[in-house]
Amino acid sequence: MNNVYEDAYPHSPDVFERETEDGGFSKGWGVHFPPSERYWIDCHSHVNAKTDFVQYLNEWFDWAVAWRLAKTILVDGHPKTLTNAFSSDPFSYDQLAEVVKNDKRAAFLYAPGVDTPDPEPLIEALEYGAKGLKLWSPTFIIEGREPDEFEHHKWEAVFKIVNDRQLPIVWHVTQRMTASPYTGGSLHAYWSEGWKKGAKYTNEDLLQSFLRIAKTYPNGHFIGAHQHYVGWERLEQIFEEYPNTYIDTSVGGFVRWGDVMHPHDQKRIRDFFIKYTDRILFGTDTGIGKSAHKESCRLGLIGHINFIRQLRLPYAELQKVSHQNAERLFRLEPSSDVRMGNIRP
């Protein structure tokens, strides 16, 4: 095939195998097949179940496996949230640890919040199987606090562990001020509360604090949730200057079912994904459990998959974004290649 055409419209590797396999018997069959992901790992998913979490996890994967979802990483792993989600014991990881030990479809992150800087709970969470951390800076906005609290001395011990153990952090750093009707986002989310409490800083202040921490702890892996709510040009600058930073695709990397990405946008974003393919993780920010809007979460997963699929990434790059980068950074065992979602031999 023409190399220029193949660059823009890549084909699945098996299409080329049929050119010669079995004497070329099936040559031309499925010639239109684009590269497909072996499976997805969602690096950004929430726990909404109050009880019977395993039941809701099973229900989610009974449906999501058809879309080739192999594993979800839960970002609510802190005793405060576990009290509601899993256990009546506010300081126990036992039930969550048992779930992820017996069910390889789930993993979890330690989520300390902004007022738990002590390293001991982090060490405990890691011993119970946490794969990294989840940090959430919008608390500073909502409560009118300073944007650089994670740089305070009290957090140094936590980030030293991150650096020494080369841990990943999924970190919601900034918060867009505009509305985002396409994804259901409201105007001035969090900021309207913070302004009432005296918040005078901007998203740039939050981002710069994050970048200073990433630079100070170069062995940690700092994953900016929602692409930091910045455009691809700015992300390119960040990636070039801070080699231990990454992004997940949640919320911004979304195409609604039935929509088609504009060609200009598709090309610009595709070029970015190919250039920085090792720095991008698939994530959705959806939730599992009875308090989640099930249809919204399902459409959320589909919309995020749709975004990646419309980029028409080459096979190798698609595998990195869909699951390999998550496996590498979170040190996950590769899922078995069971042709997820296929209903035909």
- The answer to the question of residue 313 being in a domain is yes
* Residue 181 one-letter amino acid: P
Q: Which residue has the higher pLDDT, 231 or 48?
A: 231
28 and 69, same domain (yes or no): no
- The answer to the question of residue 305 being in a domain is yes
Q: What is the mean pLDDT of residues 204-214?
A: 98
Q: CB atoms < 10 A from the CB of 102, how many?
A: 9
9 and 89, same domain (yes or no): no
pLDDT of 84 over the 80 cut: no
Name the CA radius of gyration of the chain, rounded. Answer: 21
Q: What share of the chain is helix, strand, coil (3-state, %, to 5)?
A: 45, 15, 40
Instruction: Give the model's confidence band at 291: pLDDT under 50 very low, under 70 low, under 90 confident, else very high.
Output: low
Q: What is the pLDDT of residue 71?
A: 97
Instruction: Give the model's confidence band at 344: pLDDT under 50 very low, under 70 low, under 90 confident, else very high.
Output: very low
204 and 160, same domain (yes or no): yes
29 and 55, same domain (yes or no): no
Q: Going by DSSP bridges, is the β-strand pair 245-248/280-281 parallel, antiparallel, or unpaired?
A: parallel
- The answer to the question of residue 264 being in a domain is yes
Residue 304: which domain range? 38-330
13 and 61, same domain (yes or no): no
72 and 190, same domain (yes or no): yes
State residue 325 phi and psi, 5-degree precision: -65, -40
3-state secondary structure of 129: coil
Q: What is the pLDDT of residue 337?
A: 58
Distance, first Cα to last Cα, the chain: 27
Q: What is the pLDDT of residue 343?
A: 42
d(CA 341, CA 68): 5
Contact 211, 232 (CB under 8 A): no
Instruction: Give the model's confidence band at 134: pLDDT under 50 very low, under 70 low, under 90 confident, else very high.
Output: very high
- The answer to the question of residue 337 being in a domain is no
Q: Collect contacts of 232-238 with beta carbons under 8 A, ≥24 apart.
A: 232/268, 232/269, 232/272, 235/272, 235/276, 236/272, 236/275, 236/276, 238/211
Q: What is the pLDDT of residue 148?
A: 98
Provide DSSP, 130-160. Answer: --SEEEETHHHHHTT--TTGGGSGGGHHHHH
Number of helical H runs and strand E runs in the chain: 15, 9
Lowest mean pLDDT among 209-213, 290-294, 336-340: 336-340
Q: How many domains does the chain have?
A: 2
123 and 16, same domain (yes or no): no
30 and 71, same domain (yes or no): no
316 and 203, same domain (yes or no): yes
- The answer to the question of residue 300 being in a domain is yes
Q: What is the pLDDT of residue 345?
A: 43
- The answer to the question of residue 338 being in a domain is no
Domain CATH number, residue 205: 3.20.20.140
Measured at the CA of 148, the angle between CA 146 and CA 151, to 5 degrees, comes to 140
23 and 47, same domain (yes or no): no
d(CA 42, CA 21): 35
Q: Over pLDDT 90: what percentage of the chain? A: 80
- The answer to the question of residue 336 being in a domain is no
Lowest mean pLDDT among 218-222, 265-269, 307-311, 337-341: 337-341
pLDDT digits (tens, 9 = 90+) for 144-186: 999 999 999 999 999 999 999 999 999 999 999 999 999 999 9
Contact 99, 54 (CB under 8 A): yes
pLDDT digits (tens, 9 = 90+) for 16-47: 999 999 999 999 999 999 999 999 999 999 98
238 and 160, same domain (yes or no): yes
183 and 215, same domain (yes or no): yes
The model's pTM: 0.94
- The answer to the question of residue 46 being in a domain is yes
Provide DSSP, 167-205. Answer: -EEEEE-----S-BGGGTBPTTTTHHHHHHTT----HHH
